[in-house]
């Protein structure tokens, strides 16, 4: 570009205006070209504005420039007032005409100038329109993306003097700048570094900072003033109309990112409810069980996390919500713009992020069919889960509280096969008293009544299940450390309190107490001895005592355990992770940590054989029990009870009624001989929902 193109066309009111420049950037002035333009503009003292028709923006403000929503071919002029106005107009107009640092001629398909990840996701090619992940919960949903990066940051609403709040804000902006600098130095990818530079530019953005400072000067505390300012700018960008502005809308995400960074520096981060609009499909790197549990189910249609696997706790929660979910989804999902319309196919493990109208119509059609089938299954939900040859299976539910227990009964559940007691008390700062616990357990028992089974699992924390009021020491291998029953045996007072509270449900339902993560007979004996003392003191000695089979040692020694336990319940989620030595939440291993692996099936077979020798019953309460493909095999291996997520009860019962026990046994013996999970899955695909 030559300087000729920047010839001055006029001056008005002391301002000089450059010649119009046609914008060559394919996607307009998004964050990085805008940041480059701003960096140049800041070298001049003059006040500089970018003008398009009647719109204009401060040329020293990235957010203002992005807010113009420029598109390829727009005619822009540079207007400046000040001593160096002429030089500024010349330099900035030239930069504009040159594309502000963007490669202009290279076709999108070449390897030149790799786009930011956010842009890569928007390439309109069917191959990249679906992101894959691990099915955490089946089902189909059409909804809009809500990005969730981290906990909402709660800032102090009341501040000190405006001067003091202003200096807090300035310090936080500076600290954020340093943080990003440190991040940049760890990056090898120049494109990534450019994005971070743009983020740093946002921290110094005069319009943005001025807005926040204005709030502070009007007596707002630094936190709320900053949040209001960056949210306003982000929303302005996200609200831009037209498909051409999709990328610019995404830049709202950049502002939110930077905004949150500063906010975190201004205040302590606290867990807080995730605010969802109606019809949301939530995308997050990870969700803690309490994050997930606090989601508003009436607004949430599904979710995807880039970490975790089918056996992680978010997957369990998704199944209990009866909504589709993916774990370990492609990280590009994190770059999808807020509000993007998507089709989430849980069963196929796919997130379609640019669905065509016919894709959406097809999805709706399938959803209608599925809903009709579910309705049909519900009408028969109270029929027994009897196989065609008369063999009977108990279909019970995994629940977290009395509400879910009531739902389970309403959907035909024969009882509760797993009450995850830790969920009753995970969102509090202090340990619950015996009274509080008893009230919660009794409420679940009352929801079932004296004829139905209630299996209460004692506290199962540690590993991926932290408990705020029970800070466990940091461990190198938390899944192999103090977890499950080991925590209870370490904290006998807490264990005894829980047992006394549980025992108060005796008689109100058919009470079964179950210890999680038993690995040795000594652990079972120790836990039973403590229970016997508490039961003796309360007079409730008729309680059944069982163990979860989720560690290979327990499966291998099932016969010995069956001598001393009344029942087994197989936790396939943990049994899979411990058999295959693959962390159930590991983002890279999630697809391989598969309960259909023949080694896991053999563990289940051993458990059933051991139990049968002593006439004890075996349940499965891990995620496999809710998986239609696994059900025939589990039954064929000798499992008596399937404890499933509440919404799955009618469908699993309907499936059981279509099977014959003899066929299930043959199938189980066949698949257990196979070599890989893929082979097993292929053989069982006919049962997929």
Binding residues for ligand PEP, rule: CB under 6 A, are 316, 418, 420, 460, 550, 571-574, 621-622
- CB nearer to ligand PEP: give 145 or 314: 314
- CB nearer to ligand PEP: give 70 or 311: 311
Tokens of 516: 């999680």
d(CA 243, CA 240): 9
Shortest Cβ 580–Mg ion spacing (Å): 14
Shortest Cβ 446–ligand PEP spacing (Å): 23
On whether the CB atoms of residues 63 and 258 are closer than 8 A, the answer is: no
> Burial level of 588, CB count in 10 A (0-12/13-18/19+)?
exposed
- CB nearer to ligand PEP: give 17 or 643: 643
Chosen from Mg ion, ligand PEP, none, partner binding at 572 (C-beta under 5 to 8 Å by type)? ligand PEP
313 included as an active-site residue = yes
- Between β-strands 300-305 and 325-327, what pairing exists: parallel, antiparallel or unpaired? parallel
- CB nearer to ligand PEP: give 57 or 621: 621
Shortest Cβ 454–ligand PEP spacing (Å): 16
Shortest Cβ 199–ligand PEP spacing (Å): 38
Chosen from ligand PEP, Mg ion, none, partner binding at 289 (C-beta under 5 to 8 Å by type)? none
Chosen from Mg ion, ligand PEP, none, partner binding at 202 (C-beta under 5 to 8 Å by type)? none
d(CA 585, CA 288): 11
Judged by CB under 5 A, how many residues of this single chain contact Mg ion?
3
- CB nearer to ligand PEP: give 316 or 639: 316
Tokens of 632: 């025939």
Q: Which residues have C-beta within 8 Å of that of residue 476, sequence separation ≥ 6?
A: none
Shortest Cβ 550–ligand PEP spacing (Å): 5
How far, rounded to the nearest angstrom, does the alpha carbon of residue 81 sit from its chain's CA centroid? 50
Tokens of 575: 């049994």
Shortest Cβ 577–ligand PEP spacing (Å): 8
Q: What x-and-dash track marks residues 532-571 binding Mg ion by CB under 5 A?
A: ------------------x--------------------x
Shortest Cβ 526–Mg ion spacing (Å): 19
The Cβ of residue 262 has, within 10 Å, a number of other Cβ atoms equal to: 27
Given the residues 100, 327, 608, 621, select the one marked as catalytic.
Answer: 621
- CB nearer to ligand PEP: give 554 or 684: 554
- CB nearer to ligand PEP: give 238 or 550: 550
In 3D space, the residue among 39, 627, 63, 49 whose CA is nearest the CA of residue 310 turns out to be 627
Chosen from ligand PEP, Mg ion, none, partner binding at 622 (C-beta under 5 to 8 Å by type)? ligand PEP
Chosen from ligand PEP, Mg ion, none, partner binding at 420 (C-beta under 5 to 8 Å by type)? ligand PEP
Shortest Cβ 569–ligand PEP spacing (Å): 8
Chosen from ligand PEP, Mg ion, none, partner binding at 621 (C-beta under 5 to 8 Å by type)? ligand PEP
Sheet-wide strand order for 350-352 = 130-132, 350-352, 341-345, 140-148, 280-284, 300-305, 325-327, 134-137
On whether the CB atoms of residues 553 and 583 are closer than 8 A, the answer is: no
Q: What angle do CA 653, 654, 659 make, to 5 degrees?
A: 95
- Scan for tokens 């209460």, then name that residue: 456
Shortest Cβ 156–ligand PEP spacing (Å): 37
Measured over the CA atoms of residue 657, residue 660, residue 664 and residue 670, the dihedral's sign is negative
Measured over the CA atoms of residue 330, residue 334, residue 336 and residue 342, the dihedral's sign is positive
Given the residues 313, 352, 597, 640, select the one marked as catalytic.
Answer: 313
- CB nearer to ligand PEP: give 330 or 574: 574
d(CA 440, CA 444): 7
621 included as an active-site residue = yes
- Scan for tokens 């049909």, then name that residue: 376
d(CA 626, CA 240): 43
Chosen from ligand PEP, Mg ion, none, partner binding at 85 (C-beta under 5 to 8 Å by type)? none
How far, rounded to the nearest angstrom, does the alpha carbon of residue 682 sit from its chain's CA centroid? 28
DSSP, res 465: B
Would you call 12 helix, strand, or coil by DSSP?
Answer: strand
On whether the CB atoms of residues 498 and 473 are closer than 8 A, the answer is: no
In 3D space, the residue among 373, 347, 377 whose CA is nearest the CA of residue 653 turns out to be 377
Site for Mg ion in 573-612 (CB under 5 A): 574
- CB nearer to Mg ion: give 74 or 574: 574
Active site residues: 313, 621
Q: Which residues lie near Mg ion (CB under 5 A)? A: 550, 571, 574
């Amino acid at each position: 570009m030559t300087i000729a193109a920047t010839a001055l066309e006029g001056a008005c009111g002391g301002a000089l205006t450059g010649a119009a420049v046609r914008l060559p950037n394919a996607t307009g002035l998004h964050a990085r070209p805008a940041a480059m333009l701003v960096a140049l503009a800041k070298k001049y003292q003059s006040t500089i504005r970018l003008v398009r028709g009647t719109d204009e923006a401060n040329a020293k403000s990235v957010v203002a420039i992005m807010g113009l929503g420029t598109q390829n071919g727009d005619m822009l002029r540079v207007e400046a007032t000040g001593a160096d106005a002429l030089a500024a107009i010349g330099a900035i107009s030239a930069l504009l005409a040159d594309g502000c640092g963007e490669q202009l001629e290279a076709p999108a398909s070449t390897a030149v100038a790799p786009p930011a990840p956010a842009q890569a996701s928007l390439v309109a090619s069917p191959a990249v329109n679906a992101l894959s992940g691990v099915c955490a919960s089946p089902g189909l949903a059409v909804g809009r993306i809500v990005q969730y990066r981290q906990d909402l940051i709660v800032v102090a609403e009341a501040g000190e003097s405006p001067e003091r709040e202003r200096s807090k804000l300035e310090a936080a902006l500076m600290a954020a700048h340093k943080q990003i600098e440190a991040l940049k130095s760890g990056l090898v990818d120049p494109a990534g570094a450019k994005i971070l530079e743009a983020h740093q530019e946002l921290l110094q953005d005069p319009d943005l900072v001025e807005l926040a400072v204005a709030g502070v000067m009007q007596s707002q505390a630094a936190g709320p003033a900053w949040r209001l300012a960056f949210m306003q700018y982000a929303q302005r960008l996200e609200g831009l109309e037209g498909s051409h502005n999709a990328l610019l809308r995404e830049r709202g995400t950049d502002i939110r990112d930077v905004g949150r960074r500063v906010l975190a520096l201004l205040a302590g981060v606290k867990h807080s409810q995730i605010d969802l609009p109606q019809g949301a499909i939530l995308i997050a790197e990870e969700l803690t069980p309490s994050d997930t549990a606090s989601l508003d189910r009436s607004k949430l249609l599904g979710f995807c996390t880039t970490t975790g696997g089918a056996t992680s706790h978010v997957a369990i929660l998704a199944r209990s919500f009866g909504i589709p979910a993916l774990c370990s989804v492609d990280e590009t999902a994190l770059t999808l713009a807020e509000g993007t319309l998507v089709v989430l196919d849980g069963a196929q493990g796919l997130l379609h992020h640019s669905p065509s109208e016919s894709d959406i119509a097809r999805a709706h059609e399938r959803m209608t069919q599925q809903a009709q089938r579910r309705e049909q299954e519900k009408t028969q939900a109270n029929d027994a889960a009897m196989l065609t040859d008369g063999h009977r299976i108990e279909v019970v539910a995994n629940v977290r509280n009395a509400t879910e227990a009531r739902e389970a009964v309403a959907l035909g559940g024969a009882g509760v096969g797993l009450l995850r007691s830790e969920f009753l008390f995970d969102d509090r700062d202090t340990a619950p008293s015996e009274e509080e616990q008893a009230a919660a357990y009794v409420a679940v028992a009352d929801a079932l009544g004296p004829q139905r089974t209630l299996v209460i699992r004692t506290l199962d924390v540690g590993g991926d299940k932290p408990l705020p009021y029970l800070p466990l020491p940091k461990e190198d291998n938390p899944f192999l450390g103090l977890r499950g029953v080991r925590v209870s045996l370490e904290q006998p007072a807490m264990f005894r309190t829980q047992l006394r509270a549980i025992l108060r449900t005796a008689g109100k339902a058919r009470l079964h107490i179950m210890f999680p993560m038993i690995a040795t007979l000594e652990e079972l004996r120790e836990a039973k001895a403590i229970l016997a003392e508490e039961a003796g003191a309360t007079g409730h000695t008729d309680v059944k005592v069982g163990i979860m089979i989720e560690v290979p040692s327990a499966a291998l020694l099932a016969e010995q355990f069956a001598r001393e336990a009344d029942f087994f319940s197989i936790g396939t989620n943990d049994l899979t992770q411990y058999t295959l030595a693959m962390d159930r939440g590991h983002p890279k291993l999630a697809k391989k940590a598969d309960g259909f692996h023949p080694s896991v099936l053999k563990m289940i077979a051993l458990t059933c054989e051991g139990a049968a020798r002593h006439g004890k019953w075996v349940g499965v309460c891990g995620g496999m029990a809710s998986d239609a493909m696994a059900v025939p095999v589990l039954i064929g291996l000798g499992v008596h009870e399937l404890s499933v997520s509440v919404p799955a009860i009618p469908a699993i019962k309907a499936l059981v009624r279509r099977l014959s026990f003899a066929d299930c046994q043959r199938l189980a013996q066949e698949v257990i001989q196979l070599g890989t999970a893929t082979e097993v899955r292929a053989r069982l695909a006919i049962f997929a929902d």
